[in-house]
Structure 1
């Protein structure tokens, strides 16, 4: 069930240092330092709306100009560079599916870059995705626009996995979903570590994110205010008060 190419023996998947991003005169991210140490690791970035979480993912994907340094699998990245060809894939907050196309066709589009590069393993990879998301197999010929919210999130994640990423960026996968569906989605994200893919999980649902992540960062108004092993963050009074629903702020 391995949908991730081996990342080799490199220990460091991603290293971000002094990363800053501005929209005009407004600085959206300031001096961000973040690491994903090894394949299969889940790193979460939690924080309130407007903290800069989505901007961070867009910058990692090379979609925004930035100051500082992004080193992915030992190579320095920059704005405009296609990191998808290097095995970094984003599941956007809005999922951005092709609503008039079938589930199977949406998945095949996720393998387009690999197919264009000469790889012909898309049907095998699709079977692996169906192993992870059995519901998608049941809905294989169904039009994506008729899926439930949870099924659309599964399809968005499955399409990303069709690219066989080494690093998967998840932007608010729980957004708009019912609590029971959120549990299923996070359970699946946790299981993905077995495939070897590393994950950066951006979430407002801090409780769920910290339960499955290995390491966490707290992003507030464009700056990292806290970081540490997820267990430590989950027991930190500042995180409990602000993000775990016990202090009235969230």
Structure 2
């Protein structure tokens, strides 16, 4: 039996001012799955995530757990259980790791729910953050900063976790560790929408995949099928291999 979509997008149009970037996107993210959106730079991947968080004006249908959230503000979407880890991570570099994590728990505080136990959960997923908990975030390595950004998002107890280029700028060994974490998170029941230019790594962990080109869905299907699609192999998997060789 097909899983019910936690997130359903229908005919989504969005952009910046008069410049439309997304042209009528349809996308489903079933509960408890990893859905990836791959494509080249400039395809509209980050625009999609920013639109879903309510940071850009949009037309079309956006349903979260069956609720129309098209007019909801960013804070409302966070309170519903949506979280975004942006490409730039946007950490507070002059604050310790643990304080950055604590700031991520504000939705739990607003709900008057206990949140300190979530620190233990995050430290169990990222033991290195526990080791660095008193260290300033700005002194962490690139991989550790990405772990902290994901951990901070998890402190809010999200139902949908959106990751924008989590492998960007990271060494291959760290990239593998980050994607192993994605698999672990899926096992906890979190739905993940993964935007990636590293198509090979994304398709290895995803259940379903969409190929975004020039603001439109060019291909979609089970990730394992797209990983064997000749067009995807020729256009994207080679690019991903090149990207992994970059310093």
TM-score computed with the length of structure 1 as normaliser? 0.92
2 CA distance for matches of 1:187 and 1:196? 15
- State yes or no: 1:175 paired with 2:168: yes
Q: CA deviation at 1:41?
A: 0.2
Q: CA deviation at 1:190?
A: 1.1
Task: Answer whether contact 1:108 1:162 (CA < 8 A) is retained.
Answer: yes
Task: Answer whether contact 1:64 1:79 (CA < 8 A) is retained.
Answer: no
2 CA distance for matches of 1:60 and 1:246? 27
Change (3 A) 1:48 1:126: same
Q: CA deviation at 1:74?
A: 1.0
Task: Answer whether contact 2:16 2:56 (CA < 8 A) is retained.
Answer: no
Q: CA deviation at 1:249?
A: 9.3
Q: How many equivalent pairs are there?
A: 239
1 CA distance for matches of 2:146 and 2:71? 27
- Describe the superposition over 1:197-240 as per-residue Cα deviations: whole angstroms up to 9, x where unpaired: 00000000000000000000000010000000000000000000
1 CA distance for matches of 2:153 and 2:181? 14
Q: CA deviation at 1:23?
A: 2.3
Please name the residue that 1:55 is paired with.
47
Q: CA deviation at 1:112?
A: 1.1
Please name the residue that 2:210 is paired with.
217
Change (3 A) 1:248 1:205: closer
Please name the residue that 2:85 is paired with.
91
2 CA distance for matches of 1:151 and 1:247? 22
Q: Which runs of 5+ in 2 are unaligned?
A: none
Change (3 A) 1:154 1:80: same
Bigger helix fraction: 2
Q: Which runs of structure 1 show a deviation greater than 4 angstroms over 4 or more consecutive aligned residues?
A: 246-250
Q: CA deviation at 1:12?
A: 2.1
CA RMSD between the two structures: 1.6
- State yes or no: 1:12 paired with 2:8: no
Please name the residue that 1:242 is paired with.
235
2 CA distance for matches of 1:147 and 1:206? 26
Task: Answer whether contact 1:154 1:185 (CA < 8 A) is retained.
Answer: yes
Greater Cα offset, 238-247 or 224-233: 238-247
